[in-house]
A and B are shown apart, each in its own frame.
Chain A
Amino acid sequence: MARLELKNLNKTFSPKVIPVKDVSLTVEDGEFLTLLGPSGCGKSTVLRMIAGLEEPTRGQIRLGGEDITFRRPGDRNMAMVFQSYALYPHMTVSENLASGLKLKNIPRAEIKQRVAEVAQLLGLEELLNRKPGQMSGGQRQRVAVGRALVRQAQVFLLDEPLSNLDALLRERVRADLKQIFATQKAPVVYVTHDQTEAMTLSSKVAVLNNGYVQQLAPPDRIYSHPANLFVAGFVGSPQMNLLTLPCRGRYALLGDFQIPLLDIPTVPPQIVLGIRPENVRIAQPEDEHIIQGRVFLVEHLGMHNLVSVRVNSSHSEPQTVRALLPTDQVWSNEEITLALPPQSIHWFDVESGDSLVGRQRVETMS
């Protein structure tokens, strides 16, 4: 087993289509790296370059210190689960599982044993003699994972393996996957555009957009310290409130209310304030950073209500703040006072979108 390194990868299909501009990543042994990003941001392309199905235009791929950029896919000892599963329709499940091992000329007895082990692990014993056409989506998905696992490869690559499953099944298989790959020593690269998957499965998340890595960090850090506006807006549901506010003195103006800025050397004319709806609460008497506004929309999410509030503003266009509030109270078209806890506020540069060392108090504490 070995570490996988991507160095300044670039893939240029044509001068106008450059899905991967400059991507550098490292995945250690036993690490579960998730590539997270919106549809079309080049996640599959990165994965296909790692697998050798696509040749990088520039950059290097190293496995265990060895340069494998131009090695044939079959010589890389990687196993991949395709977005479409890519099961061989004319083979039974057991033949599908065994095909990779047969190609490697592994003795029959060992093939049989390894197929049986994986089938047991994934609960495929009953299905071994079925063909892919006779199975449900979830079963096919497990066969696809099984075909990768049985290979005992050096690196596992998974391309949105859960995207075709319904929500319930997805949750179950996600838990299964987490357990299965926790026992594997090899690096895993997992592609998804579903942030819940990324958060629950991975030990490290790389958020991709526009062909660049926006942030590479453990999932909790991605969530608590988004490196820029894109990550802040993409990760977390419901989406973070991102408000572009004018600055005056040491304050940002949100409607008629003043939010103290963090310590920055020069105060820009404008700044972006970010706060997650779950961090906005109903103000208590002792709260400092409070805003007032009128509720204009209440969405029931089951556990919470997502309440949209138009912040009172006498001068400018009113801004909207969304708050996740407990369901025990009902508001409709009511005046409400909310607190924005300073330790939950993120600040971003308007131009570059980069984080301005938000939440510094928490950071110095931890």
Chain B
Amino acid sequence: MFNTKTIRGREQRTAWILIVPALLMLLFVFGYPILRAFWLSLFTQNLGTRLQPVFSGFDNYSRMAGDGRFWQSFWVTIIFTVSSVVLELILGLAIALILNQKFFGRGLVRTSAIIPWALPTALIGLAWAWIFNDQFGIVNDILLRLGIINTGINWLGDPTLAMFAVIFADVWKTTPFISILLLAGLQSISPDLYEAHSIDGATPWQNFRQITLPLLLPQILIAMLFRFAQAFGVFDLIQVMTGGGPGGATEVVSLYIYSTVMRYLDFGYGAALVVVTFLLLILAVAIASLLLNKLRARTSGTT
């Protein structure tokens, strides 16, 4: 199988020997549950069947097509994902650009910038729920004192405002992660390039557009991919802050699946939901990484 006469052949054999345990591990930890979920999604297993699995083919999937609550939650997930990822990228890039400048106390600022990301999400959710509380929340307090509003706003009780609040909290928590990632990318850009460009007469904006952005693109795309997958599966933050309310306005897919399985005990249908979301996510990630590879090949120029 391997030509052990050549160095490359031997190295490949060693590589396989080293990689097999990890592959087996992945197969058990990821492969098995995914296949099991798919298998389960072909059965009806809920209170109606006294929790006994009854084979029902693709019934669960056709039921999903007419499930308004599922599509609603899917839509909510997309809104949440897109707005938080876009905001985080813009803010994260801005912060990274600032942290890349020399200023007094930069080390301290860099270190403390990562703190929000390091805190447990459930705690952050709790804190933000209090911050946005309509009676005792600090946001209302500040707005009242500034005279911008006369009566307290019910942030988490209004569908639009609740969505805004959870996005805000998520942006607050994960922007540091993105900015640290982008900062690493910025630091790998040689200052010579900027100097050469400004001798040629470039303005700071032209420097940013023609040097920073193209050379930072791989990091931006990686951050986007990471955050996209993470935001799509968001659970803890929203569960703690709004529990999906009010009236399903912030109910993302993972929250819906959670209630289907854990509250309504509809295991078969829950499994079908998982499978469909999983496939959609895989599709999105596949497209994104394809783009990523193409762009990276184009920008690095070393292919």
Q: List A residues at the B interface (Cβ < 8 Å).
A: 51-53, 72-76, 78-80, 82, 84, 86, 88-92, 99-100, 103-104, 131-134, 147, 151
B139 within 8 A of A: no
Residue on B with the closest CB to A132? B301
Proximity string of chain B (16-60) to chain A, C-beta cutoff 8 Å, 1 when within and 0 when not: 000000000000000000000000000000000000000000000
Residue on A with the closest CB to B211? A88
B198 within 8 A of A: yes
B196 within 8 A of A: yes
Residue on B with the closest CB to A95? B210
With A86-B192, A89-B301, A90-B298: A73-B199 Cβ-Cβ less than 8 Å: yes
Q: Are A79 and B301 in contact (CB under 8 A)?
A: no
With A88-B211, A131-B301, A133-B301: A99-B197 Cβ-Cβ less than 8 Å: yes
B201 within 8 A of A: yes
Chain A residues with Cβ below 8 Å from B192 are 82, 84, 86
Chain B residues with Cβ below 8 Å from A86 are 190, 192-193, 195-196
Compute how far the CA of A84 lies from the CA of B195 in the bound complex, rounded to whole angstroms.
Answer: 12
7 A-B residue pairs with Cβ-Cβ distance under 8 Å, sorted by A, are A52-B199, A75-B201, A79-B200, A90-B298, A103-B197, A132-B301, A134-B302
Residue on B with the closest CB to A51? B199
Compute how far the CA of A82 lies from the CA of B198 in the bound complex, rounded to whole angstroms.
Answer: 13
Chain B residues with Cβ below 8 Å from A72 are 198
B293 within 8 A of A: no
Compute how far the CA of A134 lies from the CA of B214 in the bound complex, rounded to whole angstroms.
Answer: 18
Instruction: Tell me which of B201, B210, B301 contacts A134 (CB under 8 A).
Output: B301
Residue on A with the closest CB to B189? A89
With A89-B300, A134-B302: A74-B196 Cβ-Cβ less than 8 Å: no
Minimal beta-carbon separation of B32 from chain A (angstroms): 43
Chain B residues with Cβ below 8 Å from A73 are 195, 198-199
Minimal beta-carbon separation of A53 from chain B (angstroms): 5
Residue on B with the closest CB to A48? B195
B206 within 8 A of A: yes
Minimal beta-carbon separation of B227 from chain A (angstroms): 24
Chain A residues with Cβ below 8 Å from B193 are 86, 88
How many positions in chain B have a CB within 8 Å of any CB in the partner chain?
A: 22
Compute how far the CA of A132 lies from the CA of B190 in the bound complex, rounded to whole angstroms.
Answer: 14
Compute how far the CA of A92 lies from the CA of B300 in the bound complex, rounded to whole angstroms.
Answer: 11
Q: Are A80 and B196 in contact (CB under 8 A)?
A: yes
Residues of B252-303 at the interface with A, using a CB-CB cut-off of 8 Å, are 298-302
B240 within 8 A of A: no
B109 within 8 A of A: no
Q: Are A89 and B199 in contact (CB under 8 A)?
A: no
Q: Are B299 and A133 in contact (CB under 8 A)?
A: no
Residue on A with the closest CB to B191? A86
With A89-B301, A90-B214, A90-B299: A82-B201 Cβ-Cβ less than 8 Å: no
Compute how far the CA of A78 lies from the CA of B200 in the bound complex, rounded to whole angstroms.
Answer: 8
4 closest A-B pairs (Cβ-Cβ)?
Answer: A131-B301, A133-B302, A100-B200, A74-B201
Q: Are A99 and B302 in contact (CB under 8 A)?
A: no
Compute how far the CA of A133 lies from the CA of B300 in the bound complex, rounded to whole angstroms.
Answer: 8
Q: Are A74 and B301 in contact (CB under 8 A)?
A: no
B202 within 8 A of A: yes
Residue on B with the closest CB to A83? B192
Q: Are A99 and B200 in contact (CB under 8 A)?
A: yes
Compute how far the CA of A53 lies from the CA of B206 in the bound complex, rounded to whole angstroms.
Answer: 17
Compute how far the CA of A51 lies from the CA of B199 in the bound complex, rounded to whole angstroms.
Answer: 7
Q: A75-B201, A88-B211 are in contact. List 10 more A-B contacts (CB 8 A).
A: A53-B195, A82-B195, A86-B192, A88-B210, A89-B300, A90-B298, A90-B300, A92-B301, A131-B302, A133-B300
Residue on A with the closest CB to B301? A131
Residue on B with the closest CB to A130? B301
With A90-B215, A133-B300, A134-B302: A103-B195 Cβ-Cβ less than 8 Å: no
Chain A residues with Cβ below 8 Å from B203 are 74
Instruction: Tell me which of A52, A90, A151 contacts B200 (CB under 8 A).
Output: A151
Chain A residues with Cβ below 8 Å from B206 are 103
Q: Are A99 and B301 in contact (CB under 8 A)?
A: no
Chain B residues with Cβ below 8 Å from A151 are 200
Compute how far the CA of A147 lies from the CA of B195 in the bound complex, rounded to whole angstroms.
Answer: 14
Q: Are A74 and B199 in contact (CB under 8 A)?
A: yes
Q: Are B302 and A103 in contact (CB under 8 A)?
A: no
Residue on B with the closest CB to A84? B192
Q: Are B210 and A99 in contact (CB under 8 A)?
A: yes
Minimal beta-carbon separation of A265 from chain B (angstroms): 52
Minimal beta-carbon separation of A88 from chain B (angstroms): 6
Proximity string of chain B (165-188) to chain A, C-beta cutoff 8 Å, 1 when within and 0 when not: 000000000000000000000000
Chain B residues with Cβ below 8 Å from A100 are 200-201
Minimal beta-carbon separation of B292 from chain A (angstroms): 15
Compute how far the CA of A133 lies from the CA of B299 in the bound complex, rounded to whole angstroms.
Answer: 11
Minimal beta-carbon separation of B303 from chain A (angstroms): 8
Compute how far the CA of A36 lies from the CA of B207 in the bound complex, rounded to whole angstroms.
Answer: 32
Compute how far the CA of A82 lies from the CA of B195 in the bound complex, rounded to whole angstroms.
Answer: 9
Compute how far the CA of A115 lies from the CA of B289 in the bound complex, rounded to whole angstroms.
Answer: 36
With A86-B196, A99-B197, A133-B300: A74-B211 Cβ-Cβ less than 8 Å: no
Minimal beta-carbon separation of A74 from chain B (angstroms): 4
Minimal beta-carbon separation of B25 from chain A (angstroms): 36
Q: Are B199 and A53 in contact (CB under 8 A)?
A: yes
Chain A residues with Cβ below 8 Å from B199 are 51-53, 73-74, 76, 78-80
Q: Are B202 and A90 in contact (CB under 8 A)?
A: no
With A89-B300, A90-B214, A99-B210: A82-B202 Cβ-Cβ less than 8 Å: no
